[in-house]
Amino acid sequence: MKKTIFITGADRGLGLALSKVFLKSNFKVFAGRYMTEWAELDELKKEHGDDLHIITLDVTDQQSVDHAADYIKEQAGQLDILINNAAIYKDRSEDLFGEFNYDDMMAHYNTNALGPLRVSKSVVPLLMKGDSKILANISSEAASLADSWRKKEYGYCMSKTALNMQLTILQNQLEEYGIKVLAFHPGYVKTYIFGDFNPDATIDAIESATGIMEQILKSPAIDEHMYIDYQGNKLNW
């Protein structure tokens, strides 16, 4: 029986790359899709057939999240790995002496922090039945308090720091069930996080996704440092 993985935000960029590398590693992939106008997942479906399940998913909508969890339960009955990848990056220009868009900040928080919490809560019972029991999340070096260097980007950075705090609490609670929680900095990935494709980034999405997969498949112990980059290097909280 193939192992199962649920990847949110799988439409394009890193999420799509994660879907590709896990499919090539003989996983059954449940791919959460937000933007139906992007055809990459459909093309991947033609190649991998029943090993790829495409699920319409809005991580800010509880009904959508619950529907996805119910579908995975119906199709597989359990889940080995969850990767909370879906995230937004609204505005890089916001700073103390300019304009703050608080609605955008709340959107960051709702998607980047509460979104993963909704999804994690919905599938934890399935993870408890799985073999791998990995609850992975795409965080960022922008979440680090110790290594904070930015003078702008309040909304995004605060949302990722909130995510990291969430993950420490989840690990405290899920330790007794044998579930390992991970927070990944994926690197500066050539992706669409800013809306348009960012060719100035330094890391190809497949390279980052391959590294993340390798770290996950090492099955790190629950007491190992959980905030790492795609190459396994420890990050400071």
Confidence band of 194 (pLDDT split at 50, 70, 90): low
Based on the number of CB atoms within 10 Å of its own CB, is 110 exposed (0-12), middle (13-18) or buried (19 or more)?
A: middle
| pLDDT tens column, 137-177 | 999 999 999 999 999 889 999 999 999 999 999 999 999 99
Predicted TM-score of the model (pTM): 0.96
pLDDT of residue 170: 98
Cα maximum dimension of the chain: 57
pLDDT of residue 192: 66
Q: Please give the residue that has the higher pLDDT: either 166 or 94.
A: 166
| Residue 94, pLDDT above cutoff 90 | no
pLDDT of residue 1: 84
| Mean pLDDT within 134-139 | 98
Q: How much of the chain is helix, strand and coil, in % rounded to 5?
A: 45, 15, 40
| Residue 206, pLDDT above cutoff 70 | yes
| Mean pLDDT within 53-60 | 98
Which two structure tokens, joined as six digits, stand for 48?
């991998």
pLDDT of residue 235: 98
| Residue 198, pLDDT above cutoff 80 | no
Query: Which CATH topology does 4-229 take?
Result: Rossmann fold (3.40.50)
| pLDDT tens column, 6-34 | 999 999 999 999 999 999 999 999 999 99
Residues 50, 27 contacting (CB under 8 angstroms): no
**Average predicted confidence (pLDDT) for the chain:** 94
